[in-house]
Each structure stands twice: as structure tokens, then as C-alpha cells.
Structure 1
Amino acid sequence: MLAACSGNDDMPDIAADSGEQQIYDQAQRYLNNRNYSLAVRSLQALESRYPFGKFAEQAQLEIIYAHYGAFEYEAAVEAADRFIRLHPQHPSVDYAYYLKGLAAINAERDFLSRFIPMDETKRDVSRSKEAFAEFAQLLSRYPDSPYAADAKARMVHLRNLLARHEINVANYYIRRGAYLAAANRGRYVVENFQRTPAVPDGLAVMAQGYIFLDMDELARDTIEVLRLNYPEHPALDRDGEFRTTFTLEGQQRSWINKLSFGLFDPPKPPQFNYRPQAG
């Protein structure tokens, strides 16, 4: 790693009289050797010296990949935006959309997350939403693109991630005693993330929130939907009834909570994190 970092500070050896073809070939050598930082600088030099040359458009496209390979994800997104804006009819513009989506996903991750397993659903997901939108544009505009299949698979993963993130937020609201906000988050998952593994938790957290709010009819209706569609959910007992451990009655309430009639120091019931196995 130290050797790689020190190499990134080296400037590419580009002579003042280097021709367009020579600089482009040098950039290709850097790309082939995975020396992406030097590839970026070579491609930048090529575009700077020959902005209307025969390799100008190709250099603008390849610099997106070079930034991505150098872990410069923000720069890759910016380079992809620029290419799409300047060359919307380019035959490889679908590649720019694809790389922009990949860069957006990775821009959300910090250095440690590349080496230490972390739950992505508990982190900021703004970049995941951006990546989902880019892949969606790719599929909408270029359904026959060679990158379409992978983009679609990544959208499935991102959709599951975004749905699970909403459940984590709902769990946080439950811990804070914001039961209506929790129920609304659960309903949002059920309505907007159908066919994701988070839907049963969305129903369960809705029921939990309604129970805490004494909205008995809504709670019963939601539990019935959960019972009919996900009878194995851990929030349900063997008889299909909502477990008391997920209700206020099943919690140990502090004297502060009792004296304040539930306004302060709310009990902290178990959280929903049910992830059924595929198949």
C-alpha cells in the first residue's frame, strides 16, 4: 500500500514535444498496468494539449474508468456527468452511465469499509439512491446495453438495501418512542419496496407502532396481513398472535415513563431485523 501511494505522486513522463498518439499510447500502458493515477494524468494531459484531437472523446470516456480504478469516486462521477453532458449521442454513453452508478455506490464507502465488514443498511444511503437512479436511466435508455444485466442485478441489491435502511430507521424511531413515525416508515416499505425481504418487517413495525399508539383496529388489520403472508415471522407466536415481547405490555417500564404517562424514557422493545433465507 505504501509503495502504491508513493507511486501515485509521480508525474507521468510526458515530453513537451510528445504527439497525440504518443500520449494516448502511454495512457493505455498505464491503464493496462493498472497504474490508474498516472493514467488519469496522462489522459488529462492529452485532452489539455489536443482538446479537438482524434482521441479527445475517447480520453474523456477512459478518464472515468481511470478515476474509478484510482478510488477517486467523486471525480469519476464528475467525469461521467461531463461526458454524458457533452456527448449524449455517443455510442458508448451507456458505459458512462454504468460507471457513474458504480462510482456512486463506492463513494458511499469509507476506507475501512473496504477491509472490515460493515452493515451498509445502517449507513447514509444517499449515494445508493443516486446509483439506483443512474442504473435505472441506463436500463430505460439502453435496454440492450451489454451492461444492462449487471445494472439490473445491482438495482435489485440496492432496492433491498434501501428497504432495509428504512426498517433500521423505523427501529430507531421505536427506540426513541416516536411510534407514529416508525409506523409510517414501515408502511413506506410495504408500499414502495414490494417483493423485498424487508416487507414482513415493515408490516411488523407497523403493527408494533399501532399497538403502542392504541390504534387497535389498524394493528389488527396489519397483523392479519402479516399472518396471512408471512406466518413464520418471529413477531408471531405459534398461534399467529403478535408476541407480547413486541408490545408495551411486555416491556419493563421505568418509573419515569410511568409517571410521565409514557412521554419520557420509553421502553426499548426488541428490534425487527428478520431476513428470510432465499428459497
Structure 2
Amino acid sequence: MNIQKILLTCFCALILSACSTKDYSPDVYKKYTAKQILKNGEQALSKHNYNEAVKYFEAIDALYPFDPEAQQGQVDVIYAHYKAEDYASALASASRYIHLYPEGKHTDYAYYMKGVANFDKDKTLLQRLYPRKQENLDVSNLQAAFINFGEFLKRFPKSVYAKDAEKRMHYVRNLLASHELYIAKFYFDRKIYVAAVNRASYIVQHFEGAPQIKDALRIIIKSYRALGIDKQANDALRVFQLNFPKERV
């Protein structure tokens, strides 16, 4: 089984290597107008030729930076990079658009795509094949996505992307809360109560509305009791009873 996994990994690496694009110069598109290049890029995008689409959109930016098509190309290249699973380039392109057009027609989309790119950044092919265990998770990209979506919703609450961003933000919130709860339980089970309280308190303070808050409060109460700190235990108990009157600690 291990040999099969190794062979599959090597095969995937070869495929990805074969699909990589060669260096090119935007000068090859000089004979086309900005409108023609944009049209060609959007056609490549519709045919799922994402790396080819990126070339067209970047060519517009290089050859016709002051034409109206340049701004549209800078929007389209964000999506092309994202669909090519080049999330770092999608993030960079989105940030660049925001810097150039802070009040632009598609600035809300650029902010939204920063969250989406970070949301999917860890979903590489190998990670789909070999999911990591909870204790080994690096949640930095999810944390970035949570911040991105929060900033987007604050700036553009009425955007057409707001509903999806809110759903994604809630999903990320629950993932992050689950991760923190796992660590809090890890410390509690090993009687490292101060660390358990700190992790559980972080959930309560930063992930309002998350279903993991109930168990986080239980850990706080039990940890304070184990430490002999009755006042804080009773304070946490009151919060628990107020929010979960039908539940037992």
C-alpha cells in the first residue's frame, strides 16, 4: 500500500510538472488590440485553459495598462489563477487590484477572492489524497480566510458575494473552533489545566456562535475546579447555565 502511495505521488508530480507553462513575453500579443486580447483570454478561461488565460490577461496589463480592458483583465486574472490552483498568485493579483482600484467596480470581488483563495489554499492534490490528522493541522490559511471574509463583510455587507462569504466564514469559524477545542481537550486530559483554560477561553472570546462554545465552557469550568479556583469556575458556570439552560456540565 505504501508503494502504491509513493508511485501515485510521483505520478501526480510528473503530471503537474508537465502542465507547467513556459516563460513567454507579452510582446507576442502586440499585433492584437486590448479588446482582442481580453476576448481571447476570456475564451481560454471558458475552455478551462487557465494558464493560457493568465498569459492573455497579463499581456493586457503589460501592453495596454491605461485601456479600460486592463482593469477587467486584472479582475479576470484573479479568477484564472484561482482556477489554476495557483492560490498565491490569486492572492497577489487580488491585493494588487485593491491597491490600484480601492474604489473600483470590482473591488468587492477582489476582497472576496482573497478569502476564497486562503480558504482553498491547503486543498492541494496530495493533501486531498492524504488528509492530515487534527493535531498536525496548520490552520494559518484558515485564520487568514476568516480575517479576509470578516473584512470583506465589514466593507461590503450588501455585495452579491456577501451571502456566500458569510457561509464560508461560519464554516471556517467552526473548523477553527474545532481545532482549538481539540487542543483544549488534549491539555485537559493531561491535566495541564492552565493551558486548557487558555485554549477554551480563546474559543469563547473569538468564535461567537460556534457550537464548540458549549464544550469549551465545560473545559473552563472543570479546569478551574481542578485548580481550586472556585470564583472563576462559578463565573463560567453562570455563563454556561445562561446560554445552555437545559444542558449539564
Shorter-chain TM-score above 0.5: yes
Q: Could you say which residue in structure 2 is the equivalent of 1:45?
A: 59
Select the residue among 107, 113, 136 that pairs with 2:121. 107
| CA distance in structure 2 between the aligned counterparts of 1:120 and 1:85, rounded to whole angstroms | 36
C-alpha displacement of 1:34: 0.9
Cα distance in 2 between the residues matched to 1:193 and 1:4: 38
1:155 is aligned to: 169
TM-score using structure 2 length: 0.80
Which of 57, 62, 77 is the equivalent residue of 2:76? Answer: 62
**Matched position secondary structure for 2:68:** coil
**RMSD across aligned positions (CA):** 2.9
Report whether the alignment pairs 1:191 with 2:214: no
Where does 1:224-235 land on structure 2 (aligned, <5 Å)? 226=240, 229-230=243-244
Moved more, 67-76 or 121-130: 121-130
1:6 aligns with one of 5, 10, 18: 18
> Could you say which structure has the higher helix fraction?
2
8 A Cα contact 1:11 1:41, kept in partner: no
For 1:273, the equivalent position in structure 2 comes to none
- For residue 185 of structure 2, what is the aligned residue in structure 1? 171
Q: Which has the larger radius of gyration?
A: 1
Cα distance, 1:166–1:18 mapped onto 2, change above 3 Å: same
1:73 paired residue number: 87
> How far 1:175 sits from its partner (Å)?
5.0
CA 1:230–1:116 in 2, change beyond 3 Å: closer, same or farther? farther
Q: Does 1:90 align with 2:90?
A: no
**1:11-30 map, 5 Å:** 14-30=28-44
Query: Compared with structure 1, are the counterparts of its residues 75 and 120 closer, same or farther at alpha carbon in structure 2 (3 Å cutoff)?
Result: farther
Which whole-Å deviations, capped at 9, do the CAs of 1:214-270 have from their partners, x for residues lacking one? 32454455456546754786xxxxxx5x6xxxxxxxxxxxxxxxxxxxxxxxxxxxx
Residue 138 of structure 1 pairs with residue 139 of structure 2: no
**Letter of the 1:127 counterpart:** N
The letter for the 2-side match of 1:45 is A
Percent identity between the aligned chains? Answer: 36
Q: Which moved more, 1:114-123 or 1:204-213?
A: 114-123
CA distance in 2, matches of 1:83, 1:218: 48
1:172-218 CA deviation, whole Å, 9 max, x = no partner?
33355431121122123223323211111111211232233232454
Size of the aligned set, in residue pairs, is 235
Asked if the contact 1:10/1:38 (under 8 Å) is kept, the reply is no
Shift of 1:65: 0.6
Q: Which moved more, 1:217-226 or 1:80-89?
A: 217-226
After alignment, is 128-137 or 30-39 more displaced? 128-137
The alpha-carbon distance between structure 1 residues 217 and 139, as it changes in their structure 2 partners (threshold 3 A), is closer
Q: Note the C-alpha offset of 1:60.
A: 0.9
Checking the alignment, whether the CA contact within 8 Å between 1:139 and 1:152 is kept in structure 2 is yes
Work out the CA distance in 2 between the residues paired with 1:16 and 1:86: 24
Which residue is equivalent to 1:271? Answer: none
Conserved? CA contact 2:78–2:91, under 8 Å: yes
C-alpha distance in 2 between matches for 1:118 and 1:52: 46
2:3 maps to: none
Helix, strand or coil at the partner of 1:144: coil
Cα gap change, 1:229/1:18 in structure 2, threshold over 3 Å: closer, same or farther?
A: closer
